[in-house]
Each structure stands twice: as C-alpha cells, then as structure tokens.
Amino acid sequence: MTDEEFLAVLATHKDSTSEQVWNAVVARTENDWVGDLNWEAKSDNAQDFDNFLQKAFGGMPTPPRLEYVETLVTNYSFSIADVPGSENKAIRAIEICYEKMIAAISKSIGECVIPLAESPDTDVEVSEVEHELTRFQRWTKTPKFLK
C-alpha cells in the first residue's frame, strides 16, 4: 500500500472499535503490513500506528489469522521499534493469538467432533471425545512469555 493509503487507514480507524480495526487489517493482504514497508510513514506516525496495532490485536477473532499477526508484529522490530515496550507489545499480541487458537480448537471439538461422534455410523464414542476434550483443555496451556 502507498504511504497515503496507509495514513488513510490510520485516520479512518482512529475511533473505530477493535473489531473494525482488525477487519481493516484483513481487508488488505498481510504483505501490505510487513514491518519494513512504508518505513517513513510508520516511523513518523509511530504512536498512532502503535495505537492502531494494539486496537487490532484486541479485536482478533477466534481463531485469528496467524499470518497477519506474525506480519503485524514485525513492525515492532522495524519501523516502530522506538515505541516504548515495542517488543513486549509484539510478544503479548502473539500470546493473545495463541490463546485464541487454543480456544478455537476446543470449540471445534465441541461443535464438530462431538456431533460427528453421535452418529451410529462412527466407531468413536462421544464419551471418548469428551474425555479427550477435557484432557486437551486441562493440559494445553497458552505459552506465557511475559511475566
């Protein structure tokens, strides 16, 4: 995207909800958000871009699109590395992403696998699926990189 398009996205979504900002992110390709693109526009508007990114991370759906999260966080290592706590903000966004991915797996098991197991045509017992879901939820913890 051009610098003008980038700045327009920031301006348009300054007062948007987190979900609206996330939708604005995914309305473009993940390559439009690479950390070293629009370097000067991002650097010159670092705080506004940081606010935009933090709002976007707050609006990530379950599950989030990992390729977008990974691309967005590269900005904290490149064009807006001078934002206070930039690396921690990037790491926290990844933690949130992983939390949502784990939640999505649990939801999928409950909404997809259990109904399939209820069919008399399957060899899988519902109780086995429920047991595995409980085991997964009990033992799968989101990595916590920040204390």
Q: What is the pLDDT of residues 25-53, one digit of tens each?
A: 999 999 999 999 999 999 999 999 999 99
Q: What is the pLDDT of residues 6-17, one digit of tens each?
A: 999 999 999 999
**pTM confidence score:** 0.88
HSE-up (13 A, CA, CB side) for residue 120:
0
